[in-house]
């Protein structure tokens, strides 16, 4: 085999492997992960490669800082650090952050997040949370209607609910729900 | 002799050989000495590349529409189908080897490159993966660049360089802006590695493949922009910790000097300035930054950034590379580019020599004088028969005088008369240098 043909074969294999590894990881989380729901906001922006999406913003962004997070004296607090959050569900089935840890913890409802020291509230140190899910892709015909629907509901104090699957601290956003129904279905119903 | 003259000579040599004006041996020697790059099929290549670009961009747009009526497995087939088809076409082109026309190689490589991006974008869309579109680019570039090597595709190489530059800028932006992204890559490590990914294409395994002029421009521009982004990243990294972002200007100067002084072989040194975009872009960036530093406040900030900069490993790496490049340039007698690159070494000297409390004035004045000296060197080298840039030197002096006159506390009448005088001298110099070049046999490269 010529060297060029060998390099081409390896490159072609890698071109399949990179996306397929992503497919395998996320299919595994969807199939075996625990379903978790929480309130969020979701305006409608655009990605040049992947089209329209709802920019998912979980409601919980400021929480009590975990023990041992860097203090401001050395400046390290300005950099986002990984934390592991344990989620618990309330009586409505919506999840909230129960605790944060700087060390990896195990459990079915643990999710890896980013955290940065943000200041103090009532004397307690708080961190700003960065969630590993920020977009829910929609068909470009549905996205404007979905955006309008979400805005109306947010105005009435009824935010949408994001449904995710969790496995080994990794998350996949599977749906956005309005009154327990997928936003895709709701928008399609309204369009009829 | 310019490329136009080379081409004219190449076109006339067969006729002169037939007429017996030159011997076949002399014609061969002339062809070797005044080489002309092949332009065969250039239009075909451009049209092929544009067509491929449209097909690939259309593919991405069709997939970005989001076919959410279909189940996931159907959408995955949609993502991987075009990739498989484009791989088959590229494999066929590769199998044809030398029988494949250049436009075929370019088109196949570009379509496959875009099909990879479409597949990755669709997988990302199906699973609602977080992050900006620029996050996709890293793996896209890594798995696509071998196509530039094996299919000898300039279009794929250019796409790769653009991708690497955009990804590096995005990572630097995330670091400077304190983005909430958790996993910002350290581009001080990754950018040089990714840039080295182009080496199997240019100069290639036999060290003989030189990029065409357009590709050279892309290569020089992306290298410069990428290095400036890395400087911003290093500055942002330190700024996140200290709250001070002052190291960027000096790191940017060092980066520009490295691009400006990039070593060339003797043939490359002899080429005119218009064929050396790294010299034009690196030199331009360097002169613009030096001109800004002739003002007190930027000069003060530049000097204040030296002390925190020397605590960075990236700064020392740049200094080491610059020292090596300077040594090579000195041995090759490239004194004009050395004079301009030397402007990057003023800030540490300023930080060492200027007494505390004097602000930025010593360095600002030093930059004015050094720019003047550099301009004189550029002019003098040309009159001494070396490789210089007299017109650029004259333009630099004119710019300096204009800047100093603009902020001088004199009446508009005097400013106006001085500007008219400078304009006349500049035009007169232009005439003088044209006469000088006409007298020199063969002319000197600009």
pTM: 0.87
Residue A174 is predicted with a pLDDT of 94
Q: Label residue B310 by pLDDT band (50, 70, 90).
A: very high
In this complex, which of B117, B139, B147 lies closest to A11 when CB atoms are compared?
Answer: B147
Contact B64, B34 (CB under 8 A): no
Instruction: Tell me which of A39-48, A183-192, B76-85, B437-446 is least confident.
Output: B437-446
Condensed to tens digits (0 to 9), the pLDDT of residues B154-176 reads 999 999 999 999 999 999 988 88
Condensed to tens digits (0 to 9), the pLDDT of residues B92-145 reads 999 998 788 888 999 999 999 999 999 999 999 999 998 888 889 999 999 999
CB contact under 8 A, B79 and A19: yes
Per-position b or e across B258-277, b if 16+ CB within 10 A of its CB: bbbbbebeeeebeeebebbb
Condensed to tens digits (0 to 9), the pLDDT of residues B221-266 reads 999 999 999 999 998 877 766 666 789 999 999 999 999 999 998 8
CB contact under 8 A, A23 and B117: no
In this complex, which of B64, B180, B240 lies closest to A50 when CB atoms are compared?
Answer: B64
CB contact under 8 A, B150 and A8: yes
| pLDDT surpasses 60 at B177 | yes
| pLDDT surpasses 80 at A54 | yes
Which residues of chain A from 85 to 124 reach within 8 Å of chain B, CB to CB?
114, 116
| pLDDT surpasses 60 at B41 | no
Per-position b or e across A158-186, b if 16+ CB within 10 A of its CB: ebbbbbbbbbebbbbbbbbbbeeeebbeb
Residue B236 is predicted with a pLDDT of 83
Chain B residues touching A49 at Cβ < 8 A: 60, 64, 117, 121, 124, 133, 136
Closest Cα partner for B199 from B219, B229, B183? B219
Q: Label residue B444 by pLDDT band (50, 70, 90).
A: very low
Beta-carbon contacts of residue B370 (< 8 Å; ≥ 6 apart) = B290, B342, B343, B346
Q: Average the pLDDT over B349-357 and give the result.
A: 79
Q: Label residue B68 by pLDDT band (50, 70, 90).
A: confident
Residue B143 to chain A, least CA–CA distance (Å): 6
Mean pLDDT (chain B) is 87
Contact B236, B259 (CB under 8 A): no
Residue with tokens 């010529």: A2
Please give the ipTM for the structure prediction: 0.88
Condensed to tens digits (0 to 9), the pLDDT of residues A149-192 reads 998 988 888 899 999 999 999 999 999 999 999 999 999 888 77
Residue B262 is predicted with a pLDDT of 95
| pLDDT surpasses 70 at A64 | yes
- Whole-number Å distance between alpha carbons of B33 and B28: 9
| pLDDT surpasses 50 at B59 | yes
Residue B369 is predicted with a pLDDT of 93
Closest Cα partner for B183 from B142, B234, B131, B231? B131
Instruction: Tell me which of A87-96, B66-75, B87-96, B194-203 is least confident.
Output: B66-75
Chain B residues touching A116 at Cβ < 8 A: 180
Residues forming beta bridges with residue A116, ordered by sequence position: A128
Residue A87 is predicted with a pLDDT of 96
Contact B135, A132 (CB under 8 A): no
Looking at chain A, which residue has its C-alpha nearest residue B244?
A75
Residue with tokens 């090597």: B149
Residue B180 is predicted with a pLDDT of 62
A133 shares contact with chain B (CB less than 8 Å): yes
In this complex, which of A75, A172, A184 lies closest to B240 when CB atoms are compared?
Answer: A75
Looking at chain B, which residue has its C-alpha nearest residue A130?
B180
Percent of chain B whose pLDDT exceeds 70: 92
Q: Label residue A118 by pLDDT band (50, 70, 90).
A: confident
Closest Cα partner for B418 from B394, B396, B400? B400
Residue B430 is predicted with a pLDDT of 84
Chain A residues touching B135 at Cβ < 8 A: none
Residues forming beta bridges with residue A181, ordered by sequence position: A178
Looking at chain B, which residue has its C-alpha nearest residue A77?
B241
Query: CA quadruple B20, B26, B32, B35: dihedral positive or negative?
Result: negative
Instruction: Tell me which of A119-123, A132-136, B107-111, B144-148 is least confident.
Output: A119-123
Would you give the distance in Å from CA B220 to the centre of its chain? Answer: 2
Residue A150 to chain B, least CA–CA distance (Å): 18
Residue B1 is predicted with a pLDDT of 58
In this complex, which of A75, A82, A174 lies closest to B241 when CB atoms are compared?
Answer: A75
CB contact under 8 A, A19 and B131: no
Name the more confident of B368 and A79.
B368
In this complex, which of A49, A76, A137 lies closest to B241 when CB atoms are compared?
Answer: A76
Looking at chain B, which residue has its C-alpha nearest residue A170?
B129
Condensed to tens digits (0 to 9), the pLDDT of residues B178-207 reads 666 667 889 999 999 999 999 999 998 888
Residue B445 is predicted with a pLDDT of 39
């Amino acid at each position: 085999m010529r060297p060029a043909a060998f390099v081409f074969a390896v490159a072609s294999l890698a071109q399949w492997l990179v996306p397929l590894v992503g497919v395998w990881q996320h299919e595994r989380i969807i199939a075996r992960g625990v379903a978790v729901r929480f309130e969020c906001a979701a305006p409608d922006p655009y990605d040049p490669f992947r089209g329209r999406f709802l920019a998912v913003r979980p409601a919980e962004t400021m929480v009590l800082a975990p023990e041992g997070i860097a203090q401001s004296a050395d400046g390290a607090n300005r950099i986002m650090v990984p934390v592991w959050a344990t989620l618990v569900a309330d009586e409505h089935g919506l999840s909230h952050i129960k605790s944060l840890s700087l060390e990896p913890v195990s459990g079915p409802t643990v999710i890896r997040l980013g955290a940065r020291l943000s200041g103090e509230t009532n004397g307690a140190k708080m961190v700003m949370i960065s969630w590993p899910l920020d977009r829910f892709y929609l068909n470009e015909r549905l996205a404007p209607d979905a955006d309008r629907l979400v805005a109306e509901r947010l105005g009435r104090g009824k935010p949408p609910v994001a449904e995710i699957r969790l496995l080994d601290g990794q998350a996949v956003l599977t749906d956005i729900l309005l009154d327990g129904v997928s936003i895709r279905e709701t928008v399609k119903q309204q369009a009829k | 002799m310019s490329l136009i003259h080379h081409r004219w000579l190449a076109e006339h040599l067969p006729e002169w050989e037939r007429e017996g004006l030159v011997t076949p041996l002399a014609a061969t020697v002339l062809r070797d000495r005044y080489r002309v790059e092949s332009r065969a099929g250039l239009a075909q290549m451009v049209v092929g590349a544009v067509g491929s670009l449209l097909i690939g961009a259309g593919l991405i747009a069709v997939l970005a529409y989001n076919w959410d009526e279909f189940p996931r497995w159907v959408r995955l087939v949609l993502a991987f189908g075009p990739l498989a088809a484009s791989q088959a076409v590229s494999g066929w082109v590769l199998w044809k080897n030398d029988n494949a026309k250049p436009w075929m190689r370019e088109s196949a490589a570009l379509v496959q490159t875009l099909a990879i991006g479409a597949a990755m974008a669709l997988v990302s869309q199906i699973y609602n993966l977080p992050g900006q579109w620029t996050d996709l680019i890293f793996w896209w570039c890594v798995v696509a660049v071998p196509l530039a090597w094996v299919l000898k595709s300039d279009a794929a190489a250019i796409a790769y360089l653009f991708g690497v530059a955009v990804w590096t800028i995005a990572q630097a932006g995330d670091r400077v802006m304190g983005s909430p992204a958790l996993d910002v890559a350290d581009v001080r490590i990754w950018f040089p590695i990714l840039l080295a990914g182009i080496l199997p294409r240019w100069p290639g395994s036999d060290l003989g493949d030189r990029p065409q002029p357009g590709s050279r421009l892309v290569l020089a521009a992306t290298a410069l922009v990428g290095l400036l982004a890395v400087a911003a990243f290093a500055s942002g990294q330190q700024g996140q910790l200290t709250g001070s972002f002052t190291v960027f200007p000096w790191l940017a100067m060092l980066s520009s000097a490295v691009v400006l002084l990039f070593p060339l072989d003797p043939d490359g040194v002899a080429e005119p300035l218009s064929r050396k975009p790294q010299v034009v872009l690196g030199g331009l960036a360097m002169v613009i930054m030096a001109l800004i530093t002739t003002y007190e406040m930027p000069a003060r900030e530049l000097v204040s950034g030296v002390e925190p900069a020397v605590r960075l490993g990236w700064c020392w790496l740049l200094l080491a590379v610059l020292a090596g490049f300077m040594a090579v340039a000195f041995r090759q007698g490239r004194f004009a580019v050395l004079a301009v690159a030397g402007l990057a070494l003023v800030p540490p000297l300023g930080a060492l020599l200027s007494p505390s409390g004097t602000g930025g004035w010593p360095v600002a004045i030093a930059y004015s004088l050094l720019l003047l000296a550099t301009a004189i060197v550029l002019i003098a080298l040309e009159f001494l028969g070396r490789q210089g840039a007299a017109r650029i030197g004259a333009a630099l002096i004119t710019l300096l005088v204009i800047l100093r006159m603009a902020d001088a506390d004199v009446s508009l009448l005097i400013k106006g008369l001085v500007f008219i005088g400078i304009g006349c001298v500049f035009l007169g110099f232009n005439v003088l240098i044209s006469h000088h070049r006409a007298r020199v046999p063969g002319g000197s490269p600009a």
